[in-house]
Amino acid sequence: MRNVLLASLMAAFPCAAAAEVPVYTWVEAGWTQLQIDNDFLDKGDGGYIRGSVALGPSAYVFGGYAEAGKTWRGAGLTAELSLDEREIGVGYRMDMTDRVDFTADVAYVRLGVESELRLDELRETTRDHVNLWRVTAGLRGKPSPRTDAWIKAGYADGEDLDDNVFGVLGGQVLLTRTWGLVGEVEKYSDTTQFQVGVRASF
């Protein structure tokens, strides 16, 4: 009778069966906003998709794509600016406590920019990109079975980079064992990126 009652409670509250340790195989998609401290592109909105696959108890690979942009219209002129980021990398995790991991990763990143000006039937498009490598180190843990949180510090090295240090702060609230709501903010010099999405963990 006790086992039947326990099984009923677990079925009624699926988050009670949530993993007690961070999960490194997941896929995620959502909304992103890029805020830049300049007079031209102060804010751009868009979307992103990313994922991670555990290769074993200590390693994982990850990748993602994000794009944000802004459009200006006036006096018959339309100007569009879009920024995109492609990332692929490999990471390492190590147990710190039962619920906290130390993480470190290295990734290749390609940052692209595209601008388009349209006036009546005239159209001019320009494209450019920057390649860089970045590494991060930080902590990821489970404050509770229904939450996940991480903090990381990173260093980037590439073309035309004046400031190389950045930070990442994020968290997840689990709705079920598989599905969760995720929020993350990344701060890099005069640029701040916000992401809010839905994650499926496996």
SS (H, E, C) the chain: CHHHHHHHHHHHCHHHHCCCCCCCCEEEEEEEEEEECCCCCCEEEEEEEEEEEECCCCEEEEEEEEEEEEEEEECCEEEEEEEEEEEEEEEEEEECCCCEEEEEEEEEEEEEEEEEEEECCEEEEEEEEEEEEEEEEEEEEEEECCEEEEEEEEEEEECCCCCCEEEEEEEEEECCCCEEEEEEEEEECCEEEEEEEEEEEC
pLDDT of residue 11: 41
Mean pLDDT of 2-31: 63
CA dist 109 and 155 (Å) reads: 12
For 15, the token pair is 């988050």
Where in the sequence is the domain holding 155, given as residue range(s)?
20-201
Mean pLDDT of the chain: 89
Kindly report whether the global pTM for this prediction surpasses the value 0.75: yes
Q: Each residue of 123-175: pLDDT tens digit?
A: 999 999 999 999 999 999 999 999 999 999 999 998 777 778 999 999 999 99
Residue 86 in contact with residue 49, Cβ under 8 Å?
A: no
Residue 11 lies in a domain: no
CA dist 176 and 170 (Å) reads: 19
Positive or negative, the CA dihedral 128, 185, 170, 182 is negative
> What CATH number has the domain bearing residue 83?
2.40.160.20
Q: Each residue of 64-94: pLDDT tens digit?
A: 999 999 998 887 889 999 999 999 999 999 9
Residue 58 lies in a domain: yes
Residue 6 lies in a domain: no
One-letter identity of residue 133 = W
pLDDT of residue 17: 42
The structural domain count of the chain equals 1
Residue 2 lies in a domain: no
Residue 18's pLDDT band (cuts 50, 70, 90): low
Residue 148 lies in a domain: yes
CA dist 35 and 44 (Å) reads: 7
Percent of the chain surpassing pLDDT 90: 74
Residue 84 lies in a domain: yes
CA dist 112 and 128 (Å) reads: 6
Residue 4 lies in a domain: no
Residue 80 lies in a domain: yes
